[in-house]
Amino acid sequence: MEKKTEYYDVVIIGGGSAGLTAGIYCGRARLKTLILEKALIGGLATYTNEIENYPGFPEGETGLGLMDLFHKQAKKFGVDFKLTDVKAVSFEGDEKVVETFRNKFIAKAVIVASGGKPRLTGAANEANYLYDKGISFCATCDAAANTDKTIMVIGSGDAAIEEGMFLTKFAKKVFVSVMHDEGKMDCNEIAKAQAMLNPKMEFIWNTVVERFEGDGHLDTVVLKNVRTGELLPQKVETCFLFIGYLPNTELFKGVLEMTRNGYLITNERMETNLPGVYAAGDVRDKFLKQVATAVGDGAIAGYAAEKYIAEEECYQKQILNDGNPSIVYFYNAADAASRDLLPVIESLEAEYDGKISVARVDVYKSDGVAKRVGISAFPCVAFINRNQLVKTLETNITPEAIRTIIQSR
Ligand SMILES: Cc1cc2nc3c(=O)[nH]c(=O)nc-3n(C[C@H](O)[C@H](O)[C@H](O)COP(=O)(O)OP(=O)(O)OC[C@H]3O[C@@H](n4cnc5c(N)ncnc54)[C@H](O)[C@@H]3O)c2cc1C
């Protein structure tokens, strides 16, 4: 089947908090932007019933509600959405290719915001009971179905304990399997104190899952005491796993630099090892994985992609100029000495109009083009011919000196 090709300025892989924020920035910069999302717009944040730590919502907000606002804002700025799974990427050249089952999207820049997926326990029979067969990763999605039921939560981090407490509003009993010694948990102290007082929660310390059992649907979780080896079967309707996440980066293996654990490596501009390819949100190797930090990453990635595209256009048109000669004035608009020379350059623009290209690049707005040409001191006049930097003038920038360079070509 021939894939349909579509062209975009920016393609964003993943429609969670990071991808949606990047979309808002790109759309608002009037870039033709596409977000590809394989599951639910809003990503992992939609799994949680209440987000209390996202600034601007003092009363808290549901994950779905918050993500719905992000989605609306991205649509308002003209971002296109397609609900489909990205199957392959090719990022080598200037044209970045992102392929789905039916389409081939060609973009000037790509932002990877593919987030993470819940980690599994690895216990026996786990694969037989995933999702609608009794093992869940989403309290918001499955709480109501467990009204008056006995359930189990695996884990003791923030997500496990906070989601576990939310589940006590529905279930009659919530067992919590914790691998640590009694009283030790990985969550914050406030959550821990509240959970310990919750009469519906019962902690089973020093345990991990040995196996899952049931006839078609999960009905028993067999825990193992890691100190004694004792097996502890527990009847439950549903088992919720909250034991961390793995990055969705299989597609980028051998393409983008990543840590040993598969998280993408970026600098503070969200740049990956490939020009024009950015990563944002939980998919990155970073200190804190939350909505607030995913939003920050998405904003930076969107802004960086916009700058990259503008710089690339400037580089192609004004620097390479189809191999024709050009004079480029690199200046810093915040610097008086740089600004004072602008009339000199403008007079040359008029003098050489139609004969030789004379351009200005303001490094205060963005210094990527100057870096690419190899210029780091400003102001500077560069003479470029046949795609090569021929000469630079950093002092004594006068019309005569510039004319001399042009004549010496
Ligand atoms: C239960 C739970 C509770 C949480 N509670 C809080 C909280 O209270 N406060 C807080 O700040 N954070 C909380 N978090 C963390 C927060 O949800 C994440 O930090 C945030 O969602 C990260 O956003 P993201 O956009 O980087 O990734 P994600 O939200 O993971 O989004 C990535 C998206 O990319 C999509 N995707 C992946 N691969 C592909 C592909 N090949 N093609 C197309 N699409 C793809 C995925 O389907 C997903 O929708 C919680 C998380 C969970 C699971």
**pLDDT tens sequence across 295-346:** 999 999 999 999 999 999 999 988 888 888 899 999 999 999 999 999 989 9
Please work out whether the CB of residue 164 comes within 6 Å of at least one atom of ligand 1. no
28 CA distance to ligand 1 middle (Å):
23
105 lies in the same domain as 254: yes
- Boundary residue ending a domain (241, 256, 272): 241
- Boundary residue ending a domain (286, 313, 340): 313
Please work out whether the CB of residue 291 comes within 6 Å of at least one atom of ligand 1. yes
177 lies in the same domain as 204: yes
Q: Do 79 and 35 form a contact (C-beta atoms < 8 A)?
A: yes
233 CA distance to ligand 1 middle (Å):
32
101 lies in the same domain as 200: no
Give the amino acid at 58: P
> CA–CA separation, 240 vs 243, rounded Å?
9
Strand partners, 388: 385
Residue 141 in tokens: 């999605």
In the block, which residue shows the tokens 């299989």?
Answer: 250
Instruction: Give the residue numbers spanning the domain of 390.
Output: 324-407
- Determine the pLDDT at residue 409: 65
Question: For ligand 1, what atom is nearest to the CA of residue 289?
Answer: 19
214 lies in the same domain as 264: no
Please work out whether the CB of residue 290 comes within 6 Å of at least one atom of ligand 1. yes
- Mutate which of 21, 61, 287, 291 for ligand 1? The one with the most ligand atoms within 8 Å of its CB, which is 291
In this structure, is residue 319 part of a structural domain? no
281 lies in the same domain as 359: no
- Determine the pLDDT at residue 131: 83
- Determine the pLDDT at residue 193: 96
Residues 206-210: contacts with CB under 8 Å, at least 24 apart: 206/178, 206/179, 206/180, 206/181, 206/182, 207/177, 207/178, 207/179, 207/232, 208/121, 208/123, 208/177, 208/179, 209/121, 209/123, 209/126, 209/154, 209/177, 209/239, 210/123, 210/124
Please, what's the largest Cα pairwise distance for the chain?
90
- Boundary residue ending a domain (262, 281, 313): 313
In this structure, is residue 97 part of a structural domain? yes
Question: For ligand 1, what atom is nearest to the CA of residue 251?
Answer: 41
In this structure, is residue 318 part of a structural domain? no
In this structure, is residue 46 part of a structural domain? yes
Can you list the residues of the chain whose pLDDT is less than 70?
A: 409
Please work out whether the CB of residue 38 comes within 6 Å of at least one atom of ligand 1. yes
In this structure, is residue 257 part of a structural domain? yes
Please work out whether the CB of residue 39 comes within 6 Å of at least one atom of ligand 1. yes
Domain count, the chain: 3
In this structure, is residue 297 part of a structural domain? yes
In this structure, is residue 15 part of a structural domain? yes
